[in-house]
Structure 1
Amino acid sequence: MGSESHDSVHIFLFPFLAHGHMIPVSDMAKLFASHGVKTTIVTTPQNALRFAKTTQSRKPTSGFEIEIEIKTIEFPCEEAGLPKGCENLDLLPSPELVDNFLKASRLLQAPLELLLKELKPSCLVADMFFPWATEAAAKFGIPRLVFHGTSFFSLCASECVRLHEPYKSVSSETEPFVIPNLPGGIELTRSQVPDFVKNNVVNDLTQLLKDAKESELKSYGVVVNSFYELEPVYADYYRNG
């Protein structure tokens, strides 16, 4: 990939279907396109309308016209037990439907693979909530990059809490503890740790997070919604961890 010219590089961006994930991917798409890289966002019909509004062509200082292609794949709402047209996590009428939404997201693998086979992009930048994307890209010899919509600090703090379980060493929900091995002496209380973490819950979400971690280790690399100057200590800690 490193020897290709900008003209021949084709980036596929595959964001999770929630606004907090779509907004940074929209910014990333414009950044790639502003450097003359062919950029395609893969999403569903309802979400494509949102991306069309945020990625309209403009003339950046680089001199390149920004052109971002949007390819759509159908979201299997009814097959997963969701109301028709419920293609974004923020549109769910009830929290009880989150598992259905995650099921529908897993069913996107086959249509994504058809696009990968047809268009053969240089790489696939897929959200961490699509752990199966690593396997899908590998079928066609395409490197997959994992996209995290959060910061390096958040990723490092979560991993240190997961590994060392410091919330088990306190006697109450409000007693503070220092996150072990994390720079900065950051304190939390047990009440700030998600219930599914401290209670070792096993459900669709926790299984998805486990799968995401495993697929990240097999992927080509990671893209984080941050920049080095914002949090150099945690960027270095993440890279060296």
Structure 2
Amino acid sequence: MANDKEKVLHIVMLPWLAFGHMIPNLELAKLIAGKGHRVSFVSTPRNIERLPKVSQNLATLIDFVKLPLPKVPNLPENAEATTDVPYDVVQYLKKAYDTLEEPFTHFLESSKADWLFYDFAPFWAASVASKLCIRKAFYSICTPPFLGFLGPPSVLMGHDSSYRQKPEDYIVAPPWVPFPTTVAFRYYEIMRIVDSLSSQNNSGVADTNRFGVSIQNCDIVFIRGCTEFESEWFHLLESIYQKPVLPVGQLPSTAPVGGEDNDTWRWMKGWLDKQARGSVVYVAFGSEAKPTQDEVTEIALGLEKSKLPFLWLLRVQRGPYDPDVLRLPEGFEERIKGRGVVCSSWAPQLKILEHVAVGGFLTHSGWTSVVEAVQNEKPLVLLTFLADQGINARVLEEKKMGYSVPRDERDGSFSSDSVADSLKLVVVEEKGKIYRERIKEMKDLFVNGERQDRYIDNLIHNLKSLSKC
């Protein structure tokens, strides 16, 4: 805890309305509060209610600030996070989020904050803080390779028009990356998110512009990551941003306080307890990624063909207003009865990955899921869908930490055979041993408590040294 004679900082955190963003923000808030500093965590009422509860000893230092989300056309009632809406409605969520600028300004005026940590989506937040003489940090839960691939603010904001004119420009390493790398999107990956790269999207602001303005207007950049894992990318970012870029660690997940000892976990644990050690494939694609119906069919048939036991968390809808409800192939559940289970309700991922029966993880490559897998030494089979997942997958491929299911380079299609073969390779076959061993080798880089503590101490030291406006 902070020495009584030392300055106690007050940090306001403003994450984007996606649980893949809010949870890493909350993990960082807990680490900062654990050093005796105050955090105001700003989000909407329903999101705050759905966040994991913090422990009693930190509750007095973390204040949850609820800002009601204004209504905008085409955004359903009670939709406050990306998990509540289909993909094509997310830009309306950003439009509603942008209208929080005024109420957020009112809060910040009375907050007596020393620092504002903001995400990519509220690109307007830094200018609000500047007017109030509050220092501002761009805190990215996206990885250094993703930010490095996106490039400098001048490119992101469209000031340098010689780059990124068409989707094909995103499937090669950019010229500002001075070292050899395979880090780039596949064509099908960029085409799934190409709408977000245009200012013609329904929020009126391109995601690239949000990133560019957010980076340009901050005093310092903090990134989820560690220099020992991706040093060349940190050096690149300092070079192209021309401002301090510091790691905050991989932020391994801590178990929520309460809420996991529910009926779903009890039956899952009972089923997992009956399976052989390291034999079960865990399948989950996070809170945002939703496969198409064709993809679900191939995944299901691939799991069936693999002959491996499996536990599949299948989100059949993105929120109650999603018209496309996913279905399993006819007769599938009867055929795999006893060997596999499919769950369409919430389940505690960290608990599942901790279980000794789980021997592999078929994942979308969202970084929180990656960190949780490494934390529990579970090898990765990669199947990307959205956002930064393709870039994350390239990093994991380069470092032999994960194996991507083979797909058609143009449309991203894959077969049930390729799913089955990939699972068997990573979980049981001798030639996939490298993935099982590599994930264990990487564990210390991701979950070393002393290193994580040093990162937070360094973060606070920098906040204090730069805290004068």
Which residues in structure 2 correspond to 1:1-241 (within 5 Å)?
Answer: 6-51=6-51, 53-58=52-57, 67-76=61-70, 78-92=71-85, 94-159=86-151, 165=163, 177-187=172-182, 188=184, 191=187, 194-195=190-191, 201-204=198-201, 207-241=206-240
TM-score by length of 1: 0.80
**Equivalent residue letter for 1:90:** T
Alpha-carbon distance between aligned partners in 2 of 1:14 and 1:189, rounded to the nearest angstrom: 28
Whether the 8 Å CA contact 1:167–1:189 is kept in 2: the answer is no
**Alpha-carbon offset, residue 179 of structure 1:** 4.0
**Alpha-carbon offset, residue 211 of structure 1:** 3.9
Whether the 8 Å CA contact 1:179–1:186 is kept in 2: the answer is no
Whether the 8 Å CA contact 1:18–1:90 is kept in 2: the answer is yes
**Alpha-carbon offset, residue 80 of structure 1:** 4.2
Could you tell me which runs of 5 or more consecutive residues in structure 1 were left unpaired when the two chains were aligned.
60-64
1:59-103 deviation per Cα after TM superposition (whole angstroms, max 9, x unaligned): 8xxxxx873111111011x334322211001111x3231221111
**Equivalent residue letter for 1:36:** G
Whether the 8 Å CA contact 1:106–1:130 is kept in 2: the answer is yes
Whether the 8 Å CA contact 1:9–1:38 is kept in 2: the answer is yes
Sort the Cα spacing of 1:12 and 1:228 in 2 relative to 1 into closer, same or farther, 3 A: same
**Alpha-carbon offset, residue 137 of structure 1:** 1.0
Alpha-carbon distance between aligned partners in 1 of 2:127 and 2:10, rounded to the nearest angstrom: 19
1:173-227 deviation per Cα after TM superposition (whole angstroms, max 9, x unaligned): 9xx85543425412347616623669x7442366342143024212212111112
Alpha-carbon distance between aligned partners in 2 of 1:66 and 1:109, rounded to the nearest angstrom: 27
Alpha-carbon distance between aligned partners in 1 of 2:99 and 2:185, rounded to the nearest angstrom: 38
Alpha-carbon distance between aligned partners in 2 of 1:12 and 1:166, rounded to the nearest angstrom: 34
Sort the Cα spacing of 1:112 and 1:6 in 2 relative to 1 into closer, same or farther, 3 A: farther
1:79 alignment partner, SS class:
coil
TM-score by length of 2: 0.43
Whether the 8 Å CA contact 1:123–1:144 is kept in 2: the answer is yes
Whether the 8 Å CA contact 2:72–2:95 is kept in 1: the answer is no
Whether the 8 Å CA contact 1:166–1:180 is kept in 2: the answer is no
Alpha-carbon distance between aligned partners in 1 of 2:165 and 2:102, rounded to the nearest angstrom: 40
Alignment match, 1:62? none
**Equivalent residue letter for 1:119:** S
**Equivalent residue letter for 2:175:** P
**Alpha-carbon offset, residue 167 of structure 1:** 9.3
Alpha-carbon distance between aligned partners in 2 of 1:192 and 1:181, rounded to the nearest angstrom: 23
Alpha-carbon distance between aligned partners in 2 of 1:42 and 1:201, rounded to the nearest angstrom: 28
Sort the Cα spacing of 1:137 and 1:58 in 2 relative to 1 into closer, same or farther, 3 A: same
Q: What is the RMSD of the two structures over their aligned residues, measured on CA atoms?
A: 3.2
Alpha-carbon distance between aligned partners in 2 of 1:236 and 1:103, rounded to the nearest angstrom: 34
2:187 alignment partner, SS class:
helix
Sort the Cα spacing of 1:226 and 1:178 in 2 relative to 1 into closer, same or farther, 3 A: closer
1:124 alignment partner, SS class:
strand
CA radius of gyration, larger in: 2
Sort the Cα spacing of 1:213 and 1:202 in 2 relative to 1 into closer, same or farther, 3 A: same
Sort the Cα spacing of 1:166 and 1:202 in 2 relative to 1 into closer, same or farther, 3 A: closer
Sort the Cα spacing of 1:185 and 1:54 in 2 relative to 1 into closer, same or farther, 3 A: farther
Sort the Cα spacing of 1:166 and 1:43 in 2 relative to 1 into closer, same or farther, 3 A: closer
1:10-46 deviation per Cα after TM superposition (whole angstroms, max 9, x unaligned): 0101111101101110111011101111111011101
**Equivalent residue letter for 2:122:** F
1:21 alignment partner, SS class:
helix
1:145 alignment partner, SS class:
strand
Sort the Cα spacing of 1:81 and 1:7 in 2 relative to 1 into closer, same or farther, 3 A: farther
**Equivalent residue letter for 2:190:** P
1:42 alignment partner, SS class:
strand
**Equivalent residue letter for 1:85:** N
Could you tell me which runs of 5 or more consecutive residues in structure 2 were left unpaired when the two chains were aligned.
241-469
Whether the 8 Å CA contact 2:118–2:137 is kept in 1: the answer is yes
2:75 alignment partner, SS class:
coil
